[in-house]
Amino acid sequence: MPDNSGYSIKIVHLYPDLLNLYGDRGNIACMQKRLEWRGIRADIETCTNKDHSIDLKSADIIFVGGGSDREQEIVCNLLLKKKDELKTYVESGGVLVAVCGGYQLLGKYYKTAATKIEGLDILDIYTDSGDTRLISNVVLECDKFDMPIVGFENHAGRTYLGEGVTPLGKVRYGNGNTGDSGYEGVLYKNVIATYLHGPLLPKNPQLCDYILLRALERKYPGFEGLKPLDDSLEETANSYIAGKYVK
Ligand code: GLN
């Protein structure tokens, strides 16, 4: 069994003071705990509207949550100043996890009825707001994992994917990227972007470990693999939700 002690990972949380709908911050706690349970140190740094002084180059995982259109626009304008730095990070295999509003702002633009918010153009996607909100529990099938990905979505935006990216999963229940494409989220290099809100990772330990492993392998070439954890509680929660919506 691999001994993971002695490693460390720096997680940068972008603008939790503006984008933290449904407790997206729980994903940080989950990543931190799953690292610490293996003896890996987790350093959490926060970039807020009051303190932007963050060095993205030293990040191993960057996380950005979701929020209202208004807050999303503020964050978008702030992140446009870090656009080149973020793009370099992503293109060099940096791990970036983005939820809902955070997902949308990685694309070319997010067009609402009122305005068009310029995106960071990191992902080959764009988002148009629809007349209705897509609100649902969600169950996805993802060929990287044997467990389904379960979560909750609430968005007006419909996100259209270009050739350069692949979806995170196939929708088994819920709406996903557009409501009718049959797909949800995006995987691009080590970017994991999804509409699934709130503490997504505690219910999806395989997705959480996928994120942690990508970061550890990038920082420590030849990393020997993650020490297994007892995930029986997480597996019970995941299969309860999945079984409720997909027969
Ligand atoms: N404001 C975006 C939308 O409604 C994102 C919402 C969210 O992050 N839940 O599509």
Hey, is 64 helix, strand or coil?
strand
CB 69 less than 6 A from any atom of ligand 1: yes
CB 101 less than 6 A from any atom of ligand 1: yes
**Confidence band for 192, pLDDT divided at 50, 70 and 90:** very high
* Residues 51-95: tens digit of each pLDDT: 877 889 999 999 999 999 999 999 999 999 999 999 999 999 999
Q: What is the pLDDT of residue 30?
A: 98
The rounded Å distance from CA 68 to ligand 1 centre is 5
**Residue 151 scores a pLDDT above 90:** yes
How do the domains of the chain map onto residue ranges? 8-245
Q: What is the mean pLDDT of the chain?
A: 96
* Residues 131-144: tens digit of each pLDDT: 999 999 999 999 99
Assign domain 8-245 to its CATH architecture: 3-Layer(aba) Sandwich (3.40)
Determine phi and psi for 234, rounding to 5 degrees: -65, -40
Q: What is the pLDDT of residue 83?
A: 95
CB distance 170 to 140 below 8 Å = yes
Task: State the first-to-last Cα distance of the chain, in angstroms, to the nearest integer.
Answer: 36
As given in the structure block, the two tokens for residue 244 are 């409720």
CB 151 less than 6 A from any atom of ligand 1: no
Hey, is 15 helix, strand or coil?
coil
Q: What is the pLDDT of residue 74?
A: 95
Q: What is the pLDDT of residue 165?
A: 98
Catalytic residues: 100, 197
**Residue 24 scores a pLDDT above 90:** no
Cβ neighbours for 80, distance < 8 A, ≥ 6 positions apart: 118, 120
Cβ neighbours for 217, distance < 8 A, ≥ 6 positions apart: 223
Counting from 1 in the atom list of ligand 1, the atom nearest the Cα of 100 is 8
